[in-house]
Chains A and B, each alone.
Chain A
């Protein structure tokens, strides 16, 4: 297993366009998390799944954001009608529900909205 994979690594999009990011977690991990990080700040929690179920969503996750994990494996994060304020690094992480061994993060997808 090569860890948590995120695709793409970079995305430049025009304001108003929709974008979708993919995250492939460590296969044994039943929990998957999405975070957003802007320059100079710590990662901010967006949402997390346990298997297919989305267990928590942050108030940061506006109606333009949607996340899915249809088969309890990979996950997608879609942003509709992107705004310049959506420019950030989007990080995915996975873990066991027990939290043993900690949380493993991917390298992130850097989104730039122009």
Chain B
């Protein structure tokens, strides 16, 4: 499995934007970049995923570098409810089917200050 590298922790203030970085220098052409987050005492929650182009949804934006060796999850206005562990994961695809398992690393612990 291709690996990702994330900072152990980050801090933000409420209502400010948050940029969570992820390095994935060994990414292959068929790997999608997934982001999940896990709130305390809950299972991980899907946030966003993308392949090459930047992606937006109601939760966040995903900015993908041109060489795809890094990406950034952007929370446009952090709230206290965004305090969680954020995981950046690569998931390969072939023939319209994902390879299967997601391999989680340690993730980034995001603390949001009021």
A and B held together in a complex: yes
| B residues lining the A interface (CB < 8 Å) | 32, 34, 36, 41-46, 49, 85, 87, 91, 93, 96-98, 100-107
Contacts of A45 in B (CB 8 A): 101-103
| A residues lining the B interface (CB < 8 Å) | 4, 31, 33, 35, 41-45, 48, 50, 55-56, 91, 93, 95, 97-99, 101-108
Contacts of B34 in A (CB 8 A): 102
Are A99 and B46 interface neighbours, CB within 8 A?
no
Q: With A93-B44, A102-B36 given, name 19 new contacts (CB 8 A).
A: A33-B102, A35-B104, A42-B85, A42-B106, A43-B44, A44-B104, A48-B100, A50-B100, A91-B44, A93-B43, A97-B97, A97-B98, A98-B96, A99-B98, A102-B34, A104-B46, A105-B44, A107-B42, A107-B43
Contacts of B98 in A (CB 8 A): 95, 97-99
Are A108 and B43 interface neighbours, CB within 8 A?
yes
CB distance from B110 to the nearest CB of A (A): 15
In Å, the complex CA distance between A93 and B36 comes to 13
Of the residues B49, B93, B96, contact of A102 by C-beta under 8 Å: B49
